[in-house]
A and B are shown apart, each in its own frame.
Chain A
Amino acid sequence: MNVAKRSFDAVIVGAGGAGLRAAIQLSEAGLKTAVLSKVFPTRSHTVAAQGGVSASLGNSEPDHWHWHMYDTVKGSDWLGDQDAIEFMCRQAPDVVVELEHYGMPFDRLDSGKIYQRPFGGHMSNFGDKPVRRACAAADRTGHAMLHALYQRNVRANTQFFVEWMALDLLRAADGRVLGVIAMEMETSEITVFQAKATLFATGGAGRIFASSTNAFINTGDGLGMAARAGIPLEDMEFWQFHPTGVAGAGVLITEGVRGEGGILRNSSGERFMERYAPNAKDLASRDVVSRAMVTEINEGRGCGPNKDHVLLDITHLDPAVIMSRLPGIREISIQFANVDPIKAPIPVVPTCHYQMGGIPTNYRGEVVVDNKPVAGFYAAGECACASVHGANRLGTNSLLDLLVFGKSSGEHMVEFIRSEPNALPDIPEAEIDRSLVRVNRLDTQKNGANVHETRAAMQRTMQNHCGVFRFKNMLEQGAAKILEIEQQVQQVEIKDKSKVWNTARLEALEVENLIEVAKATMISANARTESRGAHVRDDAPDTPQHPDGRDDENWLKHTLWYRDGNRLDYKPVTLTPLTVETIALKKRAY
């Protein structure tokens, strides 16, 4: 079949924070760059980040990148790669200042410097006490950041392909990446985007779970495309459940609420985090707080008629602080919980929020398979695994991740493109056909499964079998169920065959990506027989030999899931930082 082809120096898939930050690097270097996005760039899910972006600016008290690095390694439960973590924490002040220069409307201190607030797991002096490290624009930091990054791209004349969905990664016989094949949503026309360097910045896949803070668009498209092209997915068993999603609605309430003094309470009004994390209390890391909440609920101390949530209380805060620092949260509470938090506490439950794993990369943004970079292929942001978050991400490190690794991958793409003067090899026809067959099936499928029902079945399975606490038998059953659901996904049927803005077709293609992520998650989680960070299972309990169930002897390693045969492989964690000493393994306590 004849497909239109376009040629670029670089193609970026995804126009959230990471994609836009990388695009600035490429466009300002004068390279011909195409940015593809399913949505207008400012509608990407970075827009929903609330609390802040971390950087050891030390604007209101002493801080140091090395302390930030320590906190990040500890937060990751030592699964994060210490070279990438050092790189990120050292770069943080520069990329945040750069963003300020782009026009980001950060809140300000009386000194005129950027306002910083405390956040979970961020401490001074190697774990001593909470430190103000989260640079914030009220509780709309992601919105302010995404708009500032888009605006800088407008200035740089970046070429956007808005409302295009990438379908598949295109590779040469030798494995080199040659670009992507994509569909224009308005017309259903398919085009090949050939490029010397391709960046995936497609975000997370939180929609594999029934209850998620994630947007509808977070369907793991980059992960699905990578998996189908033979790239493994790393550490997919590690999913962050954010402690404070609005009960019932799933909408996020930032940890910045606790940073500003908010307190979690159980049915007797007790500040229960004092029992679980005597030092950091409500500002312990997210996995710790989420588990404490679920324990309270499971032990009958939940709130409400069904005792199924706890309360986030800020009624003791000055209403003026709520209005100036947390105005968006107040809106969300009124809209989605029917509660004005100035007057009454907000009902909250742990809700799927962030994917720590992803496409394996190094800190340069290069995708790494079998210890070697895949020529021409880069990934950054939530879809990538550098790995800086390991088994549990600290709040505000996600916005930092996308700035640092968006920029870093952009820089290395510029270098790579300039070192490749030759024209690109032709794209093998079979690569293009692989994608066309998948799309064309949807036009001819009869008696197939309903997309909505199939997706809902997958989401329920993930929610029930792979949640905050995991159980051996449930993981085993869940893995089997997901493989059954995969059979249905391969036969989903759409009734709408229109060529014009066919959202049924798009959702079917998204479910094909989601199921790859669901399989990677279930199979990786089932295999990891220890507890670490966000992955906690009943058969790996807290023992003197394995505190908190963590088994460094056998499991201090990254999981790699390959789609082909659902094969698992492992690779070592990088414990050696770039310039400082290794942050030595120890039991985590907050």
Chain B
Amino acid sequence: MANRTVQFKIYRYDPDKDSAPYLQDISVELDASDRKLLDALVKIKAKDDSLSIRRSCREGVCGSDAMNINGKNGLACLTDIDSLKQPIVLRPLPGLPVIRDLIVDMTQFFKQYHSIKPYVINNDPPPERERLQSPEEREELNGLYECILCASCSTSCPSFWWNPDKFVGPAGLLAAYRFIADTRDQATSERLDNLEDPYRLFRCHTIMNCVDVCPKHLNPTQAIGKIKDMMVRRAV
């Protein structure tokens, strides 16, 4: 990678001054050290301080800078600029209200996450030492606990677009299964009850956009399938 000019079309909207959103053409000079999309956005912002984005860790673990990149959700800090077709089109995550530019209102997303009671429920008095768990039991949590709540998955899911208030969405359901799968949790039956309705779980139609976009390579569809299996097994 050397010095190069990269072309962007970026979704802009400031409700304080814009009557409607628009796509702004922006070109930016990058040098060899600018490798990730976030590097380019920081350069753009150095020239035009009005571009608003969320960002923090710049290494793919905080989940702040999810956005729609050339039509696909992902993290700006983990996306190689040179892998993208130009002009690079950046839009806010789809399906959530836009506050400004690439910043969306994530209230609905977190509401669904909170609705699955995202904490270990264990009503036994805590022992003096750690609760024991075999390496195999712990292994069950791999691929579940690593979620960074970036919302790339849920906002790429048509079922979540249509029913964000009723369908928990892939991120919330992945978290639901994370607690079901934890041998320390005693609330499996309560958790299944909580998902037993036509929308909360069963609006997943295995479109698998969630799997396709997850920057942590997690598989919410598989977790959802396991919850559905448990529902079926306890019904018969």
Instruction: Mark A residues whose CB is within 8 Å of B.
Output: 39-40, 42-45, 47-48, 97-98, 100-103, 105-114, 137, 140, 143-144, 147, 151-152, 154-155, 186, 215-217, 248-249, 251-252, 328, 331-332, 335-336, 450-453, 494-496, 498-504, 507
Partner of B148, one of A42, A45, A151: A42
B55 — which chain A residues lie within 8 A by C-beta? 216
Shortest beta-carbon distance from B37 to chain A in Å: 12
A110-B134, A151-B118, A335-B78 known; A43 vs B56 contact (CB < 8 Å): yes
Write the B1-39 contact mask toward A (1 if CB under 8 angstroms, else 0).
Answer: 000000000000011110000000000000001010000
Chain B, residue nearest A100 (CB) = B130
Please give, as numbers and ranges, the residues of chain A lying within 8 Å of B35 by CB-CB distance.
Answer: 249, 336
Expressed in whole angstroms, the Cα–Cα distance for A47 and B61 within the complex equals 7
A108 and B62 in contact (CB under 8 A), knowing A103-B119, A151-B118, A500-B100?
A: no
Nearest residue (CB) in B for A508 is B49
In the A-B complex, the 3 residue pairs with the smallest Cβ-Cβ separation, listed nearest first, are A112-B132, A103-B120, A504-B49
Contact status B99-A501, CB under 8 Å = yes
Q: Give the segment of B138-146, B162-170, B199-207, B223-231 that binds chain A.
A: B138-146
- A448: min CB distance to chain B, Å: 12
In the assembled complex, how far is the CB of residue B89 from the closest CB belonging to chain A, in whole angstroms?
A: 21
Q: Which residues of A contact B15 (CB under 8 A)?
A: 500
Check if B58 is an interface residue, CB within 8 A of chain A. yes
Interface pairs (30), CB distance under 8 Å: A40-B64, A43-B62, A44-B62, A45-B57, A47-B61, A48-B59, A97-B128, A97-B129, A97-B130, A100-B130, A101-B126, A102-B120, A103-B119, A105-B182, A112-B133, A143-B148, A147-B145, A152-B119, A154-B117, A154-B118, A215-B62, A216-B57, A251-B59, A453-B46, A500-B14, A501-B52, A502-B52, A503-B49, A503-B51, A504-B50
Q: Are the C-beta atoms of A108 and B135 separated by less than 8 Å? A: yes
CA distance A45 to B56 in the complex (A): 8
- Is the CB–CB distance between A500 and B134 below 8 Å? no
Report which residue of B46, B59, B117, B185 has the largest number of chain A beta carbons within 10 angstroms of its beta carbon: B59
B62 & A48 in contact (Cβ 8 Å cutoff): yes
Q: Are B99 and A186 touching (Cβ within 8 A)?
A: yes
Q: Is the CB of B134 within 8 A of A452?
A: no
Beyond contacts A217-B56, A504-B49: 12 other A-B pairs, Cβ-Cβ < 8 A, are A42-B148, A48-B61, A101-B122, A106-B138, A108-B137, A143-B61, A154-B117, A154-B119, A331-B60, A452-B49, A500-B100, A501-B100
Distance of A138 from chain B, by nearest CB (Å): 8
Contact (Cβ within 8 A) B145 A105: yes
A451 vs B49: C-alpha distance when bound (angstroms): 9
Q: Closest A-chain residue to B113, C-beta based?
A: A154
Q: A248-B33, A500-B100, A503-B53 are in contact. Are A105 and B138 (CB under 8 A)?
A: yes
- Is B208 interfacial (CB-CB < 8 Å)? no
Q: Is B106 an interface residue when CB atoms closer than 8 A count as contact?
A: yes
B130 touches A113 (CB 8 A): yes
Contact A108 B59 (CB under 8 A): no
> Which chain A positions have C-beta within 8 A of B119?
102-103, 151-152, 154-155
Say whether B63 faces chain A, with CB atoms less than 8 Å apart. yes
Residues of A within 8 A of B106 (CB): 40
Q: Which residue of A lies closest to B106 (CB)?
A: A40
Q: Is A108 a contact of B78 with CB atoms below 8 Å?
A: no
Nearest CB to that of B183 among chain A residues?
A112
- Is the beta-carbon distance between B145 and A144 smaller than 8 angstroms? yes
Known: A143-B61, A335-B60. A112 touches B134 (CB 8 A): yes
Contact partner of A215 among B58, B103, B133, CB < 8 A? B58
Q: Are the C-beta atoms of B110 and A498 separated by less than 8 Å?
A: no
Contact A42 B56 (CB under 8 A): no
Whether A40 contacts B110 by the Cβ 8 Å rule is yes
Q: Enumerate chain A residues within 8 angstroms of B103, measured Cβ to Cβ.
A: 501
Q: Which residues of B have CB within 8 Å of A503? A: 45, 49, 51-53
Q: Which residue of A lies closest to B141 (CB)?
A: A105
Q: In the complex, which residues of chain A have a beta carbon less than 8 angstroms from the beta carbon of B234?
A: none
Partner of B130, one of A114, A215, A251: A114
Kindly list chain B residues whose C-beta atoms are within 8 Å of the C-beta of A332: 59-60
- Who on chain B is nearest to A93 by CB? B129
A101-B126, A112-B134, A500-B99 known; A40 and B149 CB under 8 Å? yes
Q: How far is the CB of A288 from chain B (nearest CB, A)?
A: 26
Q: In the complex, what residues of B have CB within 8 A of residue A111's CB?
A: 132
Query: Is B184 part of the contact surface with A, judged by Cβ < 8 Å?
Result: yes
The reply to whether B57 and A47 form a contact with Cβ atoms under 8 Å apart is yes
Chain A residues with CB below 8 A from B50, complex form? 495-496, 498, 504
Q: In the assembly, what is the distance between CA of A504 and CA of B61, in Å? A: 24
Nearest-neighbour CB distance to chain A for B28, whole angstroms, equals 14
The reply to whether A43 and B63 form a contact with Cβ atoms under 8 Å apart is yes
Known: A103-B120, A108-B138, A151-B118. A39 touches B56 (CB 8 A): yes
Q: Say whether A42 contacts B59, CB under 8 Å.
A: no
Whose C-beta in chain A lies nearest to the C-beta of B48?
A495
Kindly list chain A residues whose C-beta atoms are within 8 Å of the C-beta of B133: 108, 112
Query: A48 contacts which of B45, B57, B149 (Cβ < 8 Å)?
Result: B57
List CB contacts (< 8 Å) of B93-129 with chain A: 99-101, 103, 106, 110, 114, 117-120, 122, 126, 128-129
Complex-state Cα separation, A507 to B137, whole angstroms: 45
Query: In the docked arrangement, what's the CA distance between A336 and B126, Å?
Result: 42
Q: Which residues of chain A are near B120, meaning CB under 8 Å?
A: 101-103, 151
B131 in contact (CB, < 8 A):
yes
Q: Which residues of A sit under 8 angstroms from B128, Cβ to Cβ?
A: 97
Whether B149 contacts A110 by the Cβ 8 Å rule is no
* Closest chain B CB from A251 CB (angstroms): 5
A98–B129 alpha-carbon span in the complex (Å) = 8
Closest residue of chain A to B38 (Cβ to Cβ) is: A216
Q: Measured between alpha carbons, how far is A440 from B122 in the docked complex, in Å?
A: 50
Q: How far is the CB of A348 from chain B (nearest CB, A)?
A: 15
